[in-house]
Structure 1
């Protein structure tokens, strides 16, 4: 059965809309997200537009700071320092990738951890590791919401995460661990990957290879969450999972597009409200 991320994300955004309406009615300050876009990467521009639209939909304030790709690292750092001090800004997001001459890690570490709505700051990563309240990366958080929506209890289940990125693989593994799952993180160097995946009650595919996972990797009745955003041989959008080959075996599966992707932006909106609430007290 398909897990309709588009529908679920809309439901979450509608709930947010109501909360922000209540803030307006109470005469309170409205949460604000600032996105920094450096250069003219086409995919990044699309993502930023989608974030602007989502803010508009839920009634949140948003601002996009567009900067030239030739800017110095120091200039970008000064922009972030200014936003850190701005009491009217709740969320700061630097759209990745950044130009090669800028150190991503240095820039992300500079963002005030209370405004780090991407959940990438070391302080928020540490909180996630320790099971404390913090801002959690949006895509992993979105996947947990999808599992909640199908009433899936992870307790005692075997979860296999294929992909060990700091943005998806590692944080989603920790979130599953906090929900009492037994978690394996697999990757390009894993021996017997098929056998490892075949054990999974929940398979999370996050390797960025189009249609890599076919029915041979999937246990009968498994839940399959596909994080991939790839292009197939016909240049058509697809995921890391061969959807048509797997859909009859899996009990639940996320399509691409329309699965995990829409959840990421909905979670970004929720993180911005959470950052606002924590700062406003």
Structure 2
């Protein structure tokens, strides 16, 4: 039978491991601190930030939240980031994306002190990841690695296909898979909107990671028998439900499940891991900045 990978269960395991780390930090007089910044009235962004703050509260991380008027000038946002950079009680900073159109995303990412960039998106941290010396692995790709590990799937020598080339998931995912390190050593192919005959590529894969943002793009006919399928996509599609929509992934779950050896559902797969790995990076950041040795899970 196909193994449906339970992201909630794996995320719970990560959080339990982090509790021991937080206890060690507390013994050294350190409380990890994460600051979130929201400059949007988008309901989805508000929900994401609320979930991150609840995760902090659950673990005993000192979470602080800062909201700005979406019409405010860029300098107001930069001033908040500068204050958080200078605050020794804040070990991690997360500016919820996207920011308003009059502010460049890249300018915001560059403004965050790299040692507090727990998203792992500052150019310095991206460079370190590519060089094989990651300070903080981006949360979603790192969470995917944890899911693959939890399913006892070997990446070394495997052919992994990443469908999507975003800076947030696709590119860092491919970089993690090719690293000479645990969870890496895979022969990795990156596919995207210009790839011809996507199915011919994915059918040759031992591991397929779909992160392109197209509802149910990858179906069972595009999966090799026994392959591992990780679905990063979260898409709203119209449905006859109370809300008028349902969430589906980039993979047609039912048809892919018939072929795959292991697969993640949507919801309940990759999603819980993203927040768990944000907590992981925040705890790691506290240890790095306060020079306290901790045994991360």
Q: TM-score range by the shorter chain?
A: over 0.9
Give, in whole Å, the separation in 2 of the partners of 1:272 and 1:95: 15
Report the equivalent of 1:145.
146
Deviations 1:204-232 (A, max 9, x none): 10111111111111111000000000123
Report the equivalent of 2:22.
20
Report the equivalent of 2:110.
109
Give, in whole Å, the separation in 2 of the partners of 1:255 and 1:277: 33
Q: Does 1:121 align with 2:126?
A: no
Instruction: Quote the RMSD (CA, aligned, Å).
Output: 1.0
**TM-score by structure 1 length?**
0.98
Give, in whole Å, the separation in 1 of the partners of 2:25 and 2:277: 19
3-state DSSP of counterpart to 1:232: strand
Give, in whole Å, the separation in 2 of the partners of 1:251 and 1:95: 35
3-state DSSP of counterpart to 1:167: coil
Unaligned runs of 5+ in 1: none
Q: Does 1:214 align with 2:224?
A: no
Deviations 1:186-217 (A, max 9, x none): 00000111101111100010111111111111
Deviation at 1:77, TM superposition (A): 0.8
Q: Does 1:198 align with 2:203?
A: yes
Please say if residues 20 and 30 of structure 1, whose CA atoms lie closer than 8 Å, have aligned partners that are also in contact: yes
Report the equivalent of 2:288.
278
Give, in whole Å, the separation in 1 of the partners of 2:38 and 2:86: 19
Deviation at 1:27, TM superposition (A): 5.4
Report the equivalent of 1:90.
91
Give, in whole Å, the separation in 1 of the partners of 2:14 and 2:171: 24
Please say if residues 21 and 59 of structure 1, whose CA atoms lie closer than 8 Å, have aligned partners that are also in contact: no
3-state DSSP of counterpart to 2:265: coil
CA 266–188 in structure 1, closer or farther in 2 if over 3 Å, else same = same
CA 194–79 in structure 1, closer or farther in 2 if over 3 Å, else same = same
Please say if residues 25 and 287 of structure 2, whose CA atoms lie closer than 8 Å, have aligned partners that are also in contact: no
Deviation at 1:166, TM superposition (A): 0.5
Give, in whole Å, the separation in 2 of the partners of 1:239 and 1:133: 28
The correspondence for 2:229, drawn from 220, 224, 227, is 224
The correspondence for 1:2, drawn from 1, 4, 15, is 4
Give, in whole Å, the separation in 2 of the partners of 1:199 and 1:260: 23
Deviations 1:117-142 (A, max 9, x none): 00000011001100003111100000
Q: Does 1:161 align with 2:165?
A: no
Report the equivalent of 2:263.
253
Deviation at 1:143, TM superposition (A): 0.3
**TM-score by structure 2 length?**
0.92
Question: Which deviates the most, 147-156 or 55-64?
Answer: 147-156
Q: Does 1:185 align with 2:187?
A: no
Please say if residues 90 and 272 of structure 1, whose CA atoms lie closer than 8 Å, have aligned partners that are also in contact: yes
Report the equivalent of 2:251.
241
1:38-53 → structure 2 map (5 Å cutoff): 38-53=39-54
Equivalent residues, number: 280
3-state DSSP of counterpart to 2:4: coil
Q: Structure 1 stretches (4+) deviating beyond 6 angstroms?
A: none
3-state DSSP of counterpart to 1:98: coil
Report the equivalent of 2:294.
none
